[in-house]
Amino acid sequence: MLKLDFHPAGRHFLQIPGPSPVPDRILRAMSYPTIDHRGPEFAVLGLKVLEGIKKIFKTQQPVVIYPASGTGAWEAALTNTLSPGDTVLMFETGHFATLWKQMAERLGLKPEFLGLPGIEGWRRGVQADMIEKRLREDAQHAIKAVCVVHNETSTGVTSDIAAVRRAIDAAGHPALLLVDTISGLASADYRHDEWGVDVTISGSQKGLMLPPGISFNAVSAKALAASGHARLPRSFWGWAEIIEMNKSGYWPYTPNTNLLYGLCEALDMLQDEGLDNVFARHRRLGEACRRAVRTWGLEIQCADPAVYSPVLTGVMMPEGVDADAVRKIIYERFDLSLGTGLGKVKGRMFRIGHLGDCNDLTLLAALAGCEMGLRIAGVPLKDSGLPAAMEYLAAQPNVVSLKAA
């Protein structure tokens, strides 16, 4: 076993926006023995998860499951659909959008990075009108894909994917639409088919409540057709062979068997709660969290209430306060992990995750830890934020209560 310096009593509070806490049910499901990935039992599991995951993406089309982190599925989406030197239009919503753009550069693509100036772009979601304008200028159709992050995990800002689809259609442009919802899937409403997304990328360790290690590409017919002539090198990531073997419930290589047990359990749990209830629970926890932050007198990273993330809340520190020093106090004193500021906002903010296996009291405990840590760090607070969150949660019962069950 990994030897820790000490074992603190009670549960660790993992309130980072992914990995999110893994429920006991899923941990137990994952402890089943690993089986023969070419045997008959495996096909039952394979077909069940391949079919079940489609409901979460809201798609009738194939969803490819990779034994890789989300970053791998980003690469799969680009290499399956594009050719060396292709121009791709990417939108700067935050750190994850920036990393995806760096990957496109490394793969030999030519990303154009659209965005609002300075830190503004990191406080608001995608600006679909900017995408429409740029696509209208591209009369030669040099742009082959538009890439957008649905839930920007570095900031706590979502993007309106349906609006991006409308922008592409309004410009009459044939570019593919590639969307990263690695941290949005199964926490925020997402509709691969209805929104006309060509490739949706997601991962296991956020809303799906699994450990890190598997990731996804939901693939439209148009994307599949593009993969037939896309020339970026790919082997492990190639869709065609995987989709072909998936038809009988198998993979061309050894899939992540135990994570697929976990996925099977997660799909059951999401189905039992009901996806709409899952989304409502996340929205409600997000609202409670923001009420606490506002009552503290601190600013929320997301500056547009229309696109607040239901997954996490970015909390900005007053001038001169190092957010990571505050996080360190909270971790050491209260065994509570918060997300660090990434990229342009490093040290300026921290992130409270309220996704996945999280309920009212988990959130309130996390807020209590934050509040105590902020006070110890000497951050001036206008008022205690906990009562504001408590009042809201008490007045707005969760859709699914134990009484109703």
Peptide bond into 23 cis (omega under 30): no
Binding segment (CB under 6 A) for ligand PLP, from list 177-185, 255-263, 360-368, 377-385: 177-185
Kindly state whether residue 96 participates in binding ligand PLP, applying the rule CB under 6 A: yes
User: Smaller CB distance to ligand PLP: residue 153 or 301?
Assistant: 153
> Using CB atoms, what's the residue nearest to ligand PLP?
70
- Return the closest-CA partner of residue 20 out of 341, 283, 261, 356: 356
String of contacts with ligand PLP for each residue 144-163, x by CB under 6 A? -----x---x----------
CA–CA separation, 332 and 341 (whole Å): 18
Within residues 214-253, the interface with ligand PLP by CB under 6 A covers none
Q: Which one of 21, 70, 249, 385 is in contact with ligand PLP (CB under 6 A)?
A: 70
CA–CA separation, 261 and 83 (whole Å): 36
Count how many residues are written for the chain: 405
Question: Least distance in Å: CB of 137 to ligand PLP?
Answer: 28
Within residues 15-54, the interface with ligand PLP by CB under 6 A covers 18
User: Smaller CB distance to ligand PLP: residue 86 or 152?
Assistant: 152
Report the binding-site residues: 351
Q: Phi then psi for 299, rounded to 5 degrees?
A: -95, 145
Helix (H) or strand (E) holding 117: none
User: Smaller CB distance to ligand PLP: residue 114 or 386?
Assistant: 114
**Alpha helices (H) in 116-213, listed in sequence order:** 128-137, 161-170
Question: Least distance in Å: CB of 386 to ligand PLP?
Answer: 28
Sequence-distant (6+) residues with CB within 8 A of 64 are: 76, 216, 217, 218, 219, 239, 242, 243, 246
Q: Which one of 67, 71, 87, 324 is in contact with ligand PLP (CB under 6 A)?
A: 71
Question: Least distance in Å: CB of 371 to ligand PLP?
Answer: 26
Report the binding-site residues for substrate: 351
Question: Least distance in Å: CB of 99 to ligand PLP?
Answer: 7
> What are the distances in angstroms from CA 383 to CA 189, 199, 323?
33, 45, 19
Within residues 178-217, the interface with ligand PLP by CB under 6 A covers 180, 182-183, 203, 212
User: Smaller CB distance to ligand PLP: residue 124 or 291?
Assistant: 124
* Burial of 80 (C-beta count, 10 Å sphere; 0-12/13-18/19+): buried
Question: Least distance in Å: CB of 127 to ligand PLP?
Answer: 18
**Alpha helices (H) in 247-322, listed in sequence order:** 257-273, 275-296
Question: Least distance in Å: CB of 26 to ligand PLP?
Answer: 17
> What are the distances in angstroms from CA 249 to CA 12, 50, 187?
37, 8, 27
User: Smaller CB distance to ligand PLP: residue 171 or 358?
Assistant: 358
**Binding site residues, ligand PLP, CB under 6 A:** 18, 69-71, 96, 149, 153, 180, 182-183, 203, 212
